[in-house]
Amino acid sequence: MTTSWRERPVGIVGLGLIGGSLGLDLRRQGLEVRALVHRESTAERARQRGLASQVSTESAVLQDCGLVVLALPLDRLLEPPTGLRQALPAAAVVTDVGSVKGPVLQRWHHWHSRFVASHPMAGTAEAGVEAGIEGLFQGRPWVATPEADTEAEALESVRQLAQLLGAQWLSCPAAAHDQAVALISHMPVLVSAALLQAADQGAQSADDPAQVAALVRQLASSGFADTSRIGGGNPELGTLMAQSNREAVVAALGVYRRQLQGLEQLVEQQRWGELQEELSRCQQLRPDFL
């Protein structure tokens, strides 16, 4: 590639949380950003927010882009909108931001010769055209999962993109990525959802179900808010992650269930010393994950 991707427009397909945040950060860096969206109402609001230099519902907006980021939901990434693949410039580097990499690679590896599978590990509970914010990727991991025949120049372009946005660049096999995110991202969504269900339904066995049901809502504070946040997030996204990464998510839930059962036994059997040891070990573990 004779021309740096920074010397040409950057294309973004989709202007939700990730795509909109990308657009804001890239424009702040002085780059021209061209965005393709599905609805004209989205395009108009994106223009008002300044998410891209040009926003269109027509795929021709991606012409001449040196790098294109597919910031689409997993279902649309795996089954792209009609005409999207044909609209991507053959010379452009193409990357995605999907949270599951194996299925994405299976499709896009054959669809575009300069495709690089990647995943910025950043987000909030918000979604849609209003969700994009500046600085979302600062200090956050950005993971690539190249294959043996992934073009070196294309991979380097995505690495430069990540570093331009202040992200921490990582590279690993797709299978390892999917197993890891099942443990620290996808499984916790379901665990958090189960916590909300337990708090809602657990009151039914109380002496005064109505009173306890009201109290659990009135007394819930920051600890419950923190641990239940992702379980109360975007249900479509949670379902797509579980569907696309099913085997790894099931395995992760099995590990969690066994750990929870072990803690339950310690409480049931009043083994308080062992429980404190386990909680102390968790206290020491947590900084490694932050």
Distance set, CA 19 to CA 95, 98, 128, 207 (Å): 12, 11, 10, 50
Same domain, yes or no, for 105 and 230? no
- Domain end: 143, 172, 201, which one? 172
Report the alpha-carbon distance of residue 276 to residue 271 in Å, rounded: 9
For residue 20, give the CATH number of its domain: 3.40.50.720
31 shares its domain with 43: yes
- Examine the domain organization and report whether 98 and 234 are in the same domain: no
Q: Kindly state the helix (H) or strand (E) to which residue 35 belongs, with its residue range.
A: strand 33-36
Pairing state of beta strands 54-56 and 67-70? unpaired
Tell me the pLDDT tens digit for each residue of 229-279: 989 988 988 999 999 999 999 999 999 999 999 999 999 999 999 999 999
The answer on 151 and 34 residing in a single domain is yes
Segments of 188-284 assigned E as strands:
none
Decide the pairing of beta strands 118-120 and 141-144.
Answer: antiparallel
Cβ contact 20:72 at 8 Å: no
Q: pLDDT value at position 3?
A: 62
pLDDT for the residue 125: 75
Q: Do you know the residue count of the chain?
A: 290
Q: Range of 60's domain?
A: 5-172
Average pLDDT for the chain? 95
Q: What pTM, to 2 d.p., does this model score?
A: 0.91
Q: Quick check: 1 pLDDT over 70?
A: no
Task: Tell how far CA 91 is from the center of its chain.
Answer: 27
Regarding whether 120 and 36 lie in a shared domain, the answer is yes
Estimate the share of the chain in helix, then strand, then coil, as percent rounded to the nearest 5.
55, 10, 30
Do 151 and 203 fall into the same domain? no
Q: Of 110, 142, 172, at which residue does a domain stop?
A: 172
DSSP letter for each residue of 269-287? TT-HHHHHHHHHHHHHHGG
42, amino acid identity: T
Check whether residue 166 and residue 25 sit in a common domain. yes
- Looking up residue 244, the CATH number of its domain turns out to be 1.10.3660.10
Q: Are residues 138 and 196 in the same domain?
A: no
Whether the CB-CB separation of 43 and 14 falls below 8 Å is answered with no
Of 144, 172, 200, which residue constitutes the final position of a domain?
A: 172
Contact present, 4 and 57 (Cβ < 8 Å): no
Q: Is the pLDDT of residue 124 over 90?
A: no
What percentage of the chain has pLDDT greater than the value 90?
Answer: 91
Based on the fold, state whether residues 193 and 158 are members of the same structural domain: no
pLDDT of 281 strictly over 90: yes
pLDDT 10s digits, 45-86: 999 999 999 999 999 999 999 999 999 999 999 999 889 999
Count, in order, helices (H) and strands (E) of the chain: 13, 9
> 21 and 153: one domain?
yes
The total of structural domains in the chain comes to: 2
Task: Kindly give the pairing relationship between strand 67-70 and strand 168-171.
Answer: unpaired
114 and 191 in a single domain? The answer is no
Regarding whether 194 and 141 lie in a shared domain, the answer is no
Buried b (16+ CB within 10 A) or exposed e, 194-210: eeeeeeeeebeeeeeee
Structure tokens at 161: 């993109």
